[in-house]
Amino acid sequence: MSENYPALLVIVPLLSAFAIYACSWLHKKSCLPLAITGLSISFLISIGLLIKVLHRGPFSYHLGGWTPPWGIAYELDQINALVLLAVTTVALVNLIATGKEIERLFADRKGAFYALYLLFVVGLLGIVVTGDLFNLYVLLEIASITGYSLIAMGESARAPISSLNYVFMGTIGACFYLLGVGYMYIMTGSLNMADVRGLLPPLYHSSAILAAFIFCLVGVMIKMGFFPLHFWLPNAYTYAPSPAASLIAPLMTKVMAYVMIRLMVSVFSPSFVFSSISASRGIVWLACLAIIIGAVMALSQRDIRRMLTYIIVSEIGYIVGGAWLGNATAMSGAILHILNDALMTLCVFLAVGAVSRKLGRLYIEDLAGLFKKMPFTMAGFVAGGISIIGVPPTCGFFSKWYLILGAIEANNYGFVAALIISSLINVALFFRIIETAFMGNPHTAAIGHEWTSGIQEVSLTTLVPLLVVTTGLVILGIFSGVVVTQVIRPGLTGVF
Amino acid sequence: MASQYSLLPLFAVLTSLCAVPFIIFARSPNTREAVSFLAAGLKFAIVLSMLPAVLEGQKLVFTIVEVIPGAPLQLRVDAFGMLFALVSSSLWILTTAYSIGYMRGLSEHAQTRYFCFFALALSATIGVAFSANLLTLYLFYEMLSLATYPLVTHHQDEDARISGRKYLTYILGTSIGLVLPAMVYVYHLTGNLEFSVFGVLAHKASGPVLAAVLFCFIFGFAKAAIMPFHAWLPAAMVAPTPVSALLHAVAVVKVGVFSIARILLFTFGIRLLESFHLGTLVAYTASFTIIVASLIALSQDELKRRLAFSTISQLSYIVLGVSLLTPKGICGGLIHIAMHAFGKITLFFCAGAIFVATGKKYISEMAGIGRTMPVTMLCFFFGALSVIGLPPCGGFISKWYLALGTLQSQQMVFLIVLLSSSLLNAMYFLPIVYHAFFMGTVSGEASENLIREAPTWCLVPIVATALGSILLFFFPGIFLRLAALALQ
């Protein structure tokens, strides 16, 4: 049984997705329990996989017993086991937290929503676990297409348009990636990552391989919303229905950032990435711009969810910059930040989703006096904000620590400055909201929501997951030392 | 120098943290405040129970978890930390009593929230005192910044909003903008963030780099209010007076100077600072703040603002003392943490008591107030004496050592700074007392018997801290011993 964990990880939610859709014709009530069960199994398997990898070291699993390079292999190492765990955790917690909201929003279409939700997760899990370049493309499209559809299901009239915009950009990104893979296939005759890695070194000077790498990189960067290729992102995530936003926003960009790191370390080698092509300095500068411009754009937003989407643009800058600084410390920081940012983003999006369920609109001034009405939700929001600012002992501090340390080691003080400045802007961003929610009086006549006296929290099914995530921020922070020394660093052995 | 594993430091930090849920869910205000008292007493008892071991030269250590290789979250009780913890935990008990009187006297809103964050702030303060390394210290320092924000902005009005912004901008802005990069850089140079009496930075970097890092710390710990990063302190005086008293005369600002002293003595180390003459540089920075803040204090009419500027100047005494790098100077600086705390908290308590009893905030309105509030104003007098540095109050002792320190370091200019500042202190405090007792008339009414003191809950703590100030003059022994042990 445990031998087949890698396959089950992906297949269980895949089959559940079909089962749910069938179920929505027969017995609508069992859709949500089915979806939760499917993701729970996936979640448990991802824990099992992480333990197994830590125990035995990296291993590969051959789908259907076909050996690579002909068959498709799933590769597991410490780092992607960690990312898998992050994906399943976020997907599961978000589903539990927003289940009620989904039932309310999509009473007649919920079969479709749950099925898309699970297929999206299947896509992401597959992307992370696969060891095959073309298989990655297929799964990337699965995740993207389901993502487009989830976003298009938003209530706002602008949802379909932003989704369409995302479709264009996403498709261009996917094409770039596919082109790159094509070039690599032409040159090496293989699609298996490990195999390609072995075949590439003699070809490092070929311009076709250079082109392949650049195509793949650009494709992935479009998908992760890396500045200046981020224009699709704010609209898509703002107008998505809130249960979908809190799934896609924490995961999609982060998984794509992981794919970039995967390409850099497992397909190409750092010696090629950092020395053969002299792009690293330029990309780190772009990352600095991403960080600063993302933060400044966030500052100019009135809608809180839109503000958070620009923070994502900025956070992606952290990860890309960390990955391209070219040392183990910064790379560890980037990988740690993938996990941390997934959790932080989930935390703030869940809180904001809960607030929007009450208020409908999410302009900063609408939150006046909200600490009196929704103290626990706001506490969760504050915790997420503090983590994004990077205050210890929340996890955001520790990834920032490794990133700054790595930048100092690489003598790149521009990146240090960018990180510090964006932290300072984040202080302004979050305390602007906290101040409004703390000082003002609940006055929401403008948006048609009348508060009655006393505390009016959202239901416990939302609150408990939110508080779990909040605690998770601190726990992950406190144990980040363990994560880095026991999991991430061993995963990077032989790389740097 | 034995290190001993012990859970006590952890308990000392956690007591007030654990009290928070009880405070939130207490059925009645009485239970809530009983819990606050209990936590305060327990915390003081735990701190006190560690005192004998510390006096024997032992260090109590507890490692929470290794978060970053070479920089674990670790608590360690040494003499310096003990000195600070002793001061803040003992004054917390009195402040709790005073808070009850003040908050009920003015029927303030949101008292539960107030007591909650008060407890959190104290946890963080003790955490700073017992931090074994820079990372742990930073963690508790930031926790304190965030926990005090709702206290500073307690009134939730426009003033509070503006002051809250200023508070956060200065405090978080500097700790993230200056301390964080400096801390990472120190870690980059040394691979650890330990506090050790020899410092960790020797032979690691050139003079200019060290100076830059040092000043990142000195200005970055803006809670110490060294100019030009002092403007948050007068602004934060919009808070309820017990908050100003404990947090802005004792806990918050002292956390700032405590952190600076830790950096100077335990990260850089005396020898390193001497070899690059960095001590003198810091001493000049502090001297500037001492004189300028005293001058500004002279012109303030609002009592709490005058006290705030006096605090800014007194904080720099501590930094000055430590940066003299002579045994007497360091001793004077460290015990000034205690002496100033008792003196200044008395003054703040008095300011609050006057406000509760009469609603007066401005010094110009306070002529003749000594006749209606004799006990309060008498205590004010002793508090003022202590801050000026005159016998029979504790402030004299610390100033004595500071003056000796300047002589020991043979830098007469700092002696002149100290003496002229004392003169300025006298100029801005003593007239208040004089006017209160000998000027003004309580018009019309039969003023002779009209004594209207603040509520007993307010008055008792005032008398206690004033007495404490006097007692410290006669029995400064414990703090002197701790200060002497600090560098061993």
Looking only at Cα atoms, what is the longest distance across chain B? 74
pLDDT at B320 over 50: yes
User: What's the token pair of residue B484?
Assistant: 């002497």
CA nearest neighbour of B256 among B284, B288, B219: B219
Measured between beta carbons, the chain B residues lying within 8 angstroms of A404 are: 180-181, 184
Q: Give the model's pLDDT for residue A292.
A: 94
pLDDT at B446 over 50: no
Q: Measured on CA atoms in the order B319, B324, B329, B331, is the torsion positive or negative?
A: positive
pTM: 0.92
Separation CA B345–CA B91 (nearest Å): 8
Separation CA B365–CA B231 (nearest Å): 25
Q: Where is average pLDDT lowest: A142-156, A482-496, B42-56? A: A482-496
What is the total count of domains within chain A?
Answer: 1
Cis before A58? omega within 30: no
Q: How confident is the model at residue B19 (pLDDT cuts 50, 70, 90)?
A: confident
Mean pLDDT confidence for B121-144 = 92
Q: Give the model's pLDDT for residue A496.
A: 75
pLDDT in tens, A424-476: 999 999 998 888 888 877 765 555 566 666 777 788 888 899 999 999 999 99
Q: Give the model's pLDDT for residue B356.
A: 82
Per cent of chain A over pLDDT 90 is: 46
Could you tell me the residue range of the domain that residue A323 belongs to? 279-496
3 state DSSP class of A129: helix
- Kindly give the pairing relationship between strand B59-68 and strand B3-5: parallel
CA nearest neighbour of A174 among A249, A232, A234, A122: A232
Q: How confident is the model at residue B449 (pLDDT cuts 50, 70, 90)?
A: low
> In this structure, what are the phi and psi dihedrals at residue B347, rounded to the nearest 5 degrees?
-60, -45
Closest partner residue to A478 among B67, B165, B185, by Cβ? B67
The average confidence (pLDDT) of chain A is 88
CA nearest neighbour of A129 among A189, A80, A67: A80
Dihedral (Cα; B29, B30, B36, B42), 10-degree rounding: -160
Q: How confident is the model at residue A138 (pLDDT cuts 50, 70, 90)?
A: very high
Q: How confident is the model at residue B136 (pLDDT cuts 50, 70, 90)?
A: very high
pLDDT in tens, B195-217: 888 888 888 888 889 999 999 99
pLDDT in tens, B241-278: 888 887 777 888 999 999 999 999 999 988 888 888 88
Closest partner residue to A392 among B72, B138, B168, by Cβ? B138
Query: Closest residue of B to A391, CA-based?
Result: B142
> In chain B, which residues touch A (CB < 8 A)?
64-69, 72-73, 135, 138-139, 142, 146, 150, 153, 156-157, 160-161, 164-165, 168, 172-173, 176-177, 180-181, 184-185, 187-188
Closest partner residue to B139 among A393, A424, A481, by Cβ? A393
CA nearest neighbour of B81 among B8, B152, B21, B146: B8
- Chain B contact present for A390, CB below 8 A: yes
Separation CA A466–CA A469 (nearest Å): 5
In a 13 Å sphere around the CA of B17, the CA atoms on its Cβ side amount to 13
Residues 102..141 of A with a Cβ closer than 8 Å to B: which?
none
CA nearest neighbour of B142 among A424, A386, A169, A366: A386
**Most B CBs within 10 Å: which of A371, A382, A404, as the mutation test of the B interface?**
A404
For tokens 């990069």, what's the residue? B181
Q: For residue A139, with 0-12 CB atoms within 10 Å meaning exposed, 13-18 middle and 19 or more buried, which class applies? A: buried
Q: How confident is the model at residue B441 (pLDDT cuts 50, 70, 90)?
A: low
A415 vs A105, higher pLDDT: A415
- Chain B contact present for A486, CB below 8 A: no
Q: Which long-range contacts (CB under 8 A, 24 or more apart) does A58-67 make?
A: A58/A491, A60/A131, A60/A194, A61/A3, A61/A4, A61/A5, A61/A6, A61/A7, A63/A7
3 state DSSP class of B26: coil
For residue B122, give the H/E element and its range: helix B111-129
Cβ contacts from A onto B, under 8 A? 75
A55 part of a folded domain: no
Are B161 and A386 inside 8 Å of each other by CB? no
Closest partner residue to B146 among A386, A424, A438, by Cβ? A386
A395 part of a folded domain: yes
Q: How open is the CA angle A307-A313-A317, to the nearest 5 degrees?
A: 140
Separation CA B121–CA B136 (nearest Å): 15
SS in 3 state form for A415-480?
A: HHHHHHHHHHHHHHHHHHHHHHHHHCCCCCHHHCCCCCCCCCCCCHHHHHHHHHHHHHHHHHHHCH
The average confidence (pLDDT) of chain B is 87
Query: Closest residue of A to B71, CA-based?
Result: A481
A489 part of a folded domain: yes
A443 part of a folded domain: yes
pLDDT at B445 over 60: no
For tokens 């009414």, what's the residue? B445
CA nearest neighbour of B324 among B375, B365, B287, B280: B280
A363 part of a folded domain: yes
How many CB atoms lie under 10 A from the CB of residue B486?
Answer: 20
A475 part of a folded domain: yes
**Most A CBs within 10 Å: which of B68, B112, B152, B216, as the mutation test of the A interface?**
B68
pLDDT in tens, A346-380: 999 999 988 888 887 788 888 888 888 888 889 99
Q: Give the model's pLDDT for residue B246.
A: 74
B125 vs B238, higher pLDDT: B125
Query: Closest residue of A to B110, CA-based?
Result: A372
- In terms of phi and psi (left: phi > 0; alpha: psi -120 to 50; beta: otherwise), the region of A90 is alpha
The alpha carbons of chain B give a radius of gyration, in whole angstroms, of 21
Are B69 and A481 inside 8 Å of each other by CB? yes
> In this structure, what are the phi and psi dihedrals at residue A27, rounded to the nearest 5 degrees?
-145, 90
Query: Closest residue of A to B139, CA-based?
Result: A392
Residues 257..296 of A with a Cβ closer than 8 Å to B: which?
none
Classify residue B73 by its DSSP letter: E
- Chain B contact present for A442, CB below 8 A: no
List helix spans (H) across A189-303: 193-199, 207-224, 232-239, 242-262, 270, 280-299
pLDDT in tens, B83-124: 999 998 888 888 888 888 777 777 777 778 888 888 888 899
CA nearest neighbour of A339 among A82, A34, A10: A82
- Chain B contact present for A187, CB below 8 A: no
Mean pLDDT confidence for A372-395 = 90
Separation CA A426–CA B366 (nearest Å): 44
User: What's the token pair of residue A408?
Assistant: 């100092």
- Chain B contact present for A401, CB below 8 A: yes
Q: Give the model's pLDDT for residue A277.
A: 64
Are A431 and B168 inside 8 Å of each other by CB? yes
- Chain B contact present for A416, CB below 8 A: yes
Are A485 and B181 inside 8 Å of each other by CB? no
Closest partner residue to B172 among A416, A427, A485, by Cβ? A427
User: What's the token pair of residue B156?
Assistant: 């939730």
Are B184 and A482 inside 8 Å of each other by CB? no
pLDDT at B186 over 80: yes
A482 part of a folded domain: yes
Separation CA A187–CA A182 (nearest Å): 9
A208 part of a folded domain: no
Mean pLDDT confidence for A206-215 = 90
pLDDT in tens, A289-299: 999 999 999 99
Are B66 and A482 inside 8 Å of each other by CB? yes
- Chain B contact present for A482, CB below 8 A: yes
- In angstroms, the separation between the Cα of residue A390 and the nearest Cα of chain B is 9
Amino acid at B54: V
Measured between beta carbons, the chain A residues lying within 8 angstroms of B188 are: 405, 408-409
Query: Closest residue of B to A369, CA-based?
Result: B156
Closest partner residue to A424 among B68, B146, B176, by Cβ? B176
Measured between beta carbons, the chain B residues lying within 8 angstroms of A390 are: 176
Q: What is the DSSP string of A307-368?
A: HHHHHHHHHHHHHHHHHHS-SHHHHHHHHHHHHHHHHHHHHHHHHHHHHHHHHS--BGGGGT
Q: How confident is the model at residue A339 (pLDDT cuts 50, 70, 90)?
A: very high
Mean pLDDT confidence for B71-75 = 89
pLDDT in tens, A78-115: 898 999 999 999 999 999 998 888 888 887 888 888 99
Q: Give the model's pLDDT for residue B295.
A: 92
Q: Where is average pLDDT lowest: A182-191, A329-338, B200-209? A: B200-209
pLDDT at A272 over 90: no
Q: Give the model's pLDDT for residue A161.
A: 87
pLDDT at B444 over 50: no
- Chain B contact present for A391, CB below 8 A: yes
pLDDT in tens, B44-68: 999 999 998 888 888 888 888 888 8
Are A424 and B146 inside 8 Å of each other by CB? no
Are B67 and A404 inside 8 Å of each other by CB? no
How many CB atoms lie under 10 A from the CB of residue B318?
Answer: 28
Query: Closest residue of A to B173, CA-based?
Result: A424
Q: Give the model's pLDDT for residue A6.
A: 85
**Most A CBs within 10 Å: which of B24, B25, B176, as the mutation test of the A interface?**
B176
Q: Give the model's pLDDT for residue B244.
A: 82
pLDDT at A257 over 50: yes
- Chain B contact present for A365, CB below 8 A: no
ipTM: 0.90
Are A423 and B150 inside 8 Å of each other by CB? no
Q: Give the model's pLDDT for residue B369.
A: 83
Measured in Å, how far apart are chain B's first and last C-alpha atoms?
A: 8
Measured between beta carbons, the chain B residues lying within 8 angstroms of A435 are: 153, 161, 164-165
Closest partner residue to A405 among B150, B164, B184, by Cβ? B184
Are A481 and B181 inside 8 Å of each other by CB? no
